[in-house]
Amino acid sequence: MPFDIYNFTSFTQWIDSSLHNAMSPFWTALTEMVIIGVLVLMFYAVVGLFLVYAERKVCAFMQNRLGPNRVGPFGIFQTIADLVKLLFVELIPIKNADGFLFNLAPFIVIIAGFMAIAAIPFANGLHAIDMNIGVLYVIAVSSMGVIGVLLAGWSSNNKYSLIGAMRSGAQIISYELSVGLALITIVILAGSMQLSVIVEAQRDGWFIFKGHIPAFIAFIIFLISSTAETNRGPFDLAEAESELTAGYHTEYSGIKFAFFFLAEYMNMFIVASIAATIFLGGWMPFHVGPWVGFNHIMDFIPPFVWYIGKTFFVIFLMMWFKWTFPRLRIDQLLTLEWKYLLPINLVNVLIMAFLVLMGWHF
């Protein structure tokens, strides 16, 4: 296969086996953990900073502005400058706050993000773990962030924070269902929960095209509910700037605030990459059935570029939503989930199951 030139499987296996030859299995596992940890950390920081910059530029252009344009050419170093500022900002101790939980909350939020990244295949053979229950793992881990949010709201000893946290709890618990069901629709189609298998199954066509209308509806529902799950506008009720000042992170400052801030963007990146992996073929190039020449050209674009491109397309969609729509109210948010998304989703799963049973998909 032509795109095997970009296959990382042999590369990663070579690292693994050479480490095995040099050390005992325990030390090998430890070394691999450290390598992956450092890599993920760096990736996290770089992507986070870039997304902050991208969001600023995108929203600026949508609002007829230039956005950051002072630090560096086109302001590309603006977020780094902001990060440096945040590192030096005083960490204000909050009176009567529950100190332990207050400090713990940002880490929980960030760790949830780390764990989710581990399962995502960036390219052929380039992922930390390839679990056979990948989809389930991702759903489970990405909803851990809400614990951090709840802890932050509770321990801040601030009424706004508490309202924000409670909203966030209600919101994420409800929208988890839709995210899960939307993914289940594709799992039915793919017949597997393993992310690498799902990607591999999209070799001759992405699931959004393969799965007829049900897959498309699942994609839309996944977009909506994952936007809600990451607490982004128009579902940013947990921080609802004009109602709750900053919601659950009102009392945070300095690097702890930066953690929340970064986690928000990382969560967006994670859900976007899940959407890209499951609906848009992950690192698979764009193929049109019989056009061999066209498919061949597409194969020469590295899979990592495909993956990043699809992810950023989804991220752009989410930014577009955020900067266009007004915010929903908490009861309307829940109405949207329970009265619209969930019933549609259930029907959608049924239709998809029927399609697969009849073999009517491509």
CB of 324 to other proteins, least distance (A): 5
Binding-site member from 7, 12, 69, 253 for other proteins (CB under 8 A): 69
- Residue in 21, 24, 64, 96 binding other proteins, rule: CB under 8 A: 64
Size of the site for other proteins (CB under 8 A): 35
Q: List CB contacts of 331: < 8 A, sequence separation 6 or more.
A: none
DSSP string for 170-229: HHHHHHHHHHHHHHHHHHHHHT---HHHHHHHTTTS-HHHHTHHHHHHHHHHHHHHHHHH
> Is 126 strand, coil or helix?
strand
Q: Which stretch binds other proteins (CB under 8 A): 48-56, 63-71, 93-101, 195-203?
A: 63-71
159-190 vs 212-229: helix axis angle to the nearest 10? 160
* Single residue of 25, 73, 293, 326 touching other proteins by CB under 8 A: 326
Nearer to other proteins, 300 or 320 (CB): 320
Question: Does position 332 bind other proteins by CB under 8 A?
Answer: yes
Query: Which of 21, 24, 25, 63 touches other proteins by CB under 8 A?
Result: 63
Query: Which of these ranges, 29-37, 104-112, 128-136, 315-323, lies near other proteins under the rule CB under 8 A?
Result: 315-323
DSSP H stretches of helix in the chain? 9-22, 25-62, 78-88, 99-118, 134-142, 145-155, 159-190, 195-201, 207-210, 212-229, 241-244, 254-279, 292-300, 303-322, 330-335, 342-358
**Tokens coding 258:** 């930066």
Q: Which of residues 236-255 bind other proteins (CB under 8 A)?
A: 236-237, 240-243, 245
CB of 82 to other proteins, least distance (A): 19
Q: What 3-state class would DSSP assign to 18?
A: helix
Binding site for other proteins (CB under 8 A): 58-59, 61-66, 69, 159-160, 163, 167, 233-234, 236-237, 240-243, 245, 320-321, 323-332, 340
